Amino acid sequence: MLEPLIVAEHIDKIYEMPGGGGKQVLRGIDLAVREGEVLAVLGPSGSGKSTLLRIIAGLVAPTRGRITYHGAMAQRGGNGVAMVFQSFALFPWLTVQENVELGLKAQGLIEAERHERALRVIDMIGLDGFEGAYPKELSGGMRQRVGFARALVVDPDVLLMDEPFSALDVLTAENLRRDLLELWLERRIPTRAVVIVTHSIEEAVYLAVRAIVLSRDPAEVRAEVAITLPHWRDREDRRFAQIVDQIYSLLTQRAGEKETAQGRRRPEPIPAVRSGALNGLVELLEDAPREDIYRLGEELQFDVDDLLPIVEGLELLGLAKVHEGDIELTPQGRRYAGANLLERKEIFRTQALERCPALAQIERVLVQKSNGRMNREFFVDAMEQSYGVEEAERQVDTLIEWGRYAEIFAYDQESRQLYLERDEAQPGAAPSGD
Amino acid sequence: MSWFPAPGIARRVRLGWVDLLVFAAVLLMLLAVLRLGGRMALPLHDVGTISLSPAALPLYAGESLLRIFIAFLASLVFAVVYGYLAAKSPWAGRVLVPLLDILQSVPVLGFLSATLAFFAGLFPGSSLGLEIAAVFAIFTAQAWNMTFAFYHTLVTLPADLEEASHVYRLGRWSRLWYLELPSSAITLVMNSMMSFGGSWFFLAASETVTFSGRRVMLPGIGSYMALAEQRGDTPAMLAAVAVMIVLIVLVDQLFWRPIVAWSQRFKLEQTPAAEGPTSFVLTLLRRSALVEGLWRLLHPAWETLWRWFSRPPARRPAGAQSSVVWRVLFGLLGVLVLALALRTGWRLLSGIAPHEIVHVGWLGILTWLRVMAAVLLGAIWTVPVGVAIGLSPRVSRWAQPLAQIAASFPANMLFPIVVAWLLRVRAGLDIGAIPLMMLGTQWYILFNVIAGSLAIPQDLKEAGRIFGLKGLLRWRELVLPAIFPSLVTGGVTAAGGAWNASIVAEVASWQHHTLVAQGLGAYITLATARGDGSQVLLGIAVMSLFVIAMNRLVWRPLYRLAETRYHLD
């Protein structure tokens, strides 16, 4: 086997927290990018897969571990890596051609050579005729073509792509994906390897020869899946679906209780979903007692990232259960689906207080206080040790939303206080309409 | 390159009348700058002779214009260099940002008072020192705001573009031209325009100065007006006001409009914009074959320069060491400057008796009351009028530019006229200083209120109408909350302007009568006139403290409220 182009060894990334301590996003990641492969990095949202890509690109420094560049690539020199961004990252004040020439200009090439190379790539990527246009005049698909042209024109050894198709609509994305794959398969670009970060399993299985599946909080390599199907791949193919299913179950595998970086055990965070989304999914499942989650996502045009938290939420509340990639309402959940608005709140309240310790804890705190009020910061601070500031804020936001919906407590945005709605009038507790 | 469309296919080779116009304009501008520039260093005794002949007025206007543009150029360079250093070097930023915050709180005319004697002393017997002091005063009126604007955009650059510049290895030079300057262009242009408009006031104030017991006039439109007022020459006064208005409109049309229209190419949004600002001058320039030819001529030179600057940096492993050397040098310089400033300050202030400080504090309170009164009284009439204008698109189309001209017009040129009226009704300046302050500052509230009410979303207005919101209820529930952020912005600007105005408004004269109010502004003015450096410094320091206290205790909480509670969208 050929020598890998890029090797990442034991990569750790810890972000410093303002209040001391740190949030670990990557732990002990080992990874090699090999000559001639398309490598997909998959993981749930917020798992740090984009951070990993940025570490490979040299944009972010790892806390521990190292990245080595082999082969013809000099360390952070030569024509090492190029990157395609999810948001395109085009300079709006430059024309298509000027955007494409940017990297060449930074290398100090003379004008004639820049023009010649840029025009060749623009031609190849199908942007002919748009050289003088500004990005804002282009559609999303055309803009990302500029992003690709800008990356390919510097003849990178490794092309890094950060969710390159996820800001595009389905048809445009498919079109661009095919064009790119064609360039790659027909060896019309000198690029020696491609790394693509994505949350779309199907995209990974369609493009890559190898997929790395990351876990979350912190991200570790959970599995490596070889995708040996020959190109071009057929999505209707049974083997294609099998691989998608295999990765799907790897992704949905729940890790249960995990140890934090400090070695303390902590409860699994509650998924950040609003009660409205939970209600919506229950209603959808009412008519179809057992659904394949993957198919459900396709029907709703939801990404894994959108759908999984809702599924997890229903599971946490005991309204649904997941079995081998299928989701099904529990008897409780079926009762919930048939109930009216007030009854639903009652069921939600019982389930939540029973199965979500944090919510029960908040209620206990509020009941114990003589005035039934408590500052929001108190709960954020309490959770901060387990989750870090950012996640703690998100947790409290979600808990407040659930608590408000279930009428366990109320929340006053102005004073940032949670309070019990007792029958007697609350002094100074006149929440505004919003 | 990004700043001008790359010279593409030759569109036209023949020169047209447009080119003749452009050529003539450029020639005229060069001649004017040369001629006016030569007059900036005259023997001091020649300076006092200002002619009230209307024929001399255009020349005076030109000299004022030259002053304000030199100051603007300096401000622009300062803003970019200072902002860049503050944003790019963490250790420099730790000093530069708070320093800028303090500089911004010092009343602009305080700088004039404090530096006048110094600059005049540099060139004894020549007007050059006074010219520099005047330009410096205008500079201080423009620079801080522009610097903050540039600094702010540098620390909030779009993250993805920054990453892209990294991946494609843009050097410092390329980053500056491709990322940093373009990202800040719109903010910088808008801020420059506002600061420039506001600085006419200080131009007028710095052309006629009294220091060390001498009244000196620099040739310019401000001093022309001052002399006309002193002599009671009504036709000359009217002519000066008219020329001033023409000047403001011309600078707006020929300079700012084209630049604002051009800067729209640096919009960050990726959506095609609706009708943006346009400018006939810019269109003219874009169509001119002369401009295009010139650009084509200069392009290779630019290209060479570019490649020289953006050549990949040589590997320098000693980079860390050299930066340490710089740090030490910079630190030493800072300590030196600080020590010098402290020593001078101490020498000046040590002779001041404690009761003097208490007295100045009391004067500060008096002036503070006037400033508040001027802002509140200004708001009382400008809010209803501004809302009425803003809610009617037809009216606002012509009223908004008028409010902008009124805000740019140097109100201190009109002070003596108001003083004449005060003398007639036998009112003192203790109260009379308030209308004088309002004369210049109320317009800031007016055009901010207009802008705020123009921005009230259509759906909110419609919802108000459907639910029958009328009268007081409509004001309380819809209009006031919606314009609150703009009202705060207008209030801050107006209060800042009023503090500045106090220095020229609390001592005012009409012909041979001079009125003096009890207040901090008068204290500073009189001390400057006597040439008492320690009192000037004390007065400025106390006024800056008042401004800082106001900002911290009143305006910042209001801003926060505006941003959290009354933020639309």
Per-residue pLDDT tens over the stretch A287-314: 876 777 777 877 787 777 788 888 889 9
pLDDT band at A432 (very low <50, low <70, confident <90, very high): very low
pLDDT number for residue B566: 76
Does A348 have pLDDT greater than 80? yes
pLDDT tens by residue, A17-29 = 766 667 888 999 9
Sequence-separated (6 or more) residues with CB below 8 Å from residue A212 = A31, A39, A40, A41, A42, A221, A223, A224, A225
pLDDT digits (tens, 9 = 90+) for B434-461: 999 998 888 889 988 988 888 888 888 8
Average pLDDT over residues B81-101: 86
Query: What ipTM score was computed for the predicted complex, to two decimals?
Result: 0.73
Nearest-by-Cβ selection for A94 from B2, B269, B270: B2
**Residue of chain A with shortest Cα separation from B174:** A106
pLDDT score, position B213: 73
- Which of A102, A110, A155, A163 should one mutate to test binding to chain B, selecting the residue with the greatest count of B CBs within 10 A? A102
What is the percent of chain A where pLDDT is above 70? 90
Q: Which residue has the higher pLDDT, A33 or A2?
A: A33
* CB-CB contact of A125 with A145 (8 Å): yes
- Considering only CB atoms, B311 lies closest to which of A85, A108, A136, namely A108
Domain boundary assignment for chain B: 47-266+276-298, 334-569
B120 versus A125: the higher-pLDDT residue is A125
Strand (E) or helix (H) holding A328? strand A326-329
pLDDT at B320 over 60: no
Task: Tell me the range of A343-357, B115-129, B296-310, B312-326 where mean pLDDT is highest.
Answer: A343-357
pLDDT category of residue B293 using cuts at 50, 70 and 90: confident
Q: How far apart are the first and last CA of chain A?
A: 63
SS3 of chain A: helix, strand, coil, percent, to 5: 45, 20, 40
Chain A contact set for B271 (CB, 8 A): 136
**Mean pLDDT, residues B179-193:** 90
B47-266+276-298 classified as CATH 3.40.50.2300: no
A94 vs B174: CB contact, 8 Å cut-off? Answer: no
CATH fold for the domain made of B334-569: MetI-like fold (1.10.3720)
Average pLDDT estimate for B57-74: 92
Asked if residue B564 has pLDDT above 50, the reply is yes
Q: Are B47-266+276-298 and B334-569 equal in CATH topology?
A: yes
Q: Among A85, A91, A117, A134, pick the best mutation site for testing chain B contact (most B Cβ within 10 A).
A: A91
The angle, 0 to 180 degrees and rounded to 10, between the axes of the packed helices A275-287 and A331-338 is 100
* Contacts A132 to B, Cβ<8 Å: 8
Nearest-by-Cβ selection for A89 from B161, B265, B267: B161
Residues of B in contact with A134 (CB under 8 A): 265
Identify the residue with better confidence: B397 or A123.
A123
Give A38: exposed, middle or buried? Use CB within 10 Å, 0-12, 13-18, 19+. buried
* pLDDT value of residue B313: 53
Mean pLDDT of B202-226: 85
Question: What confidence score (pLDDT) does residue B471 get?
Answer: 79
B225-272 pLDDT tens trace: 988 888 888 899 999 999 999 999 999 988 998 888 888 888 876 555
pLDDT at A399: 92
pLDDT of residue A267: 65
pLDDT score recorded for residue A41: 95
Beta-carbon contacts of residue B238 (< 8 Å; ≥ 6 apart): none
For residues A263-279, average pLDDT:
76
B182 lies within 8 A of chain A by CB: yes
Q: Is the pLDDT of residue B413 over 80?
A: yes
Summarised one tens digit per residue, pLDDT across range B363-402 is 999 999 999 999 999 999 999 999 988 888 788 888 888 8
Of B542, B543, B536, B498, give the one whose Cα is nearest residue B211: B536
* Mean pLDDT of the A81-97 span: 91
pLDDT of residue A190: 87
Evaluate if residue A319 carries a pLDDT over 70.
yes
| pLDDT of the residue at A182 | 93
Please say if the pLDDT value at position A327 is more than 60: yes
B168, B265, B269: residue with CB nearest A106: B168
State the average pLDDT over residues A313-333: 86
Least confident of A320-324, B318-322, B356-360: B318-322
Average pLDDT, integer, range B415-424: 86
d(Cα B177, Cα B303) in Å, to the nearest integer? 13
Arithmetic mean of pLDDT over chain A: 84
pLDDT(A6) > 80: yes
Report residue B315's pLDDT band, with 50, 70 and 90 as the boundaries. Answer: very low
Of the two residues B275 and B385, the one the predictor is more confident about is B385
pLDDT higher for B297 or A171?
Answer: A171
Paired with A225 in beta bridges are: A211
DSSP state of A136: G
Dihedral sign (CA A113, A114, A119, A120): positive
Between residues A70 and B337, the one the model is more confident about: B337
Whether residue B312 lies within 8 A of chain A, CB to CB, comes out as yes
The predicted structure's pLDDT at residue A257 = 38
* Cβ-Cβ contacts under 8 Å, B1 against chain A: 98
Query: Quick one: average pLDDT of A412-417?
Result: 86
- Quick check: A387 and A395 in contact, CB under 8 A? yes
- The DSSP symbol for A67 reads E
Summarised one tens digit per residue, pLDDT across range A139-160 is: 989 999 999 999 999 888 899 9
pLDDT in tens, B495-509: 988 998 898 889 887
Most A CBs within 10 Å, among B167, B262, B561, B566, to test the A interface = B167
Q: Which residue of B has its CA nearest to A414?
A: B565
Measured distance CA(B387)–CA(B480) in Å, rounded: 9
pLDDT at res. B568 = 66
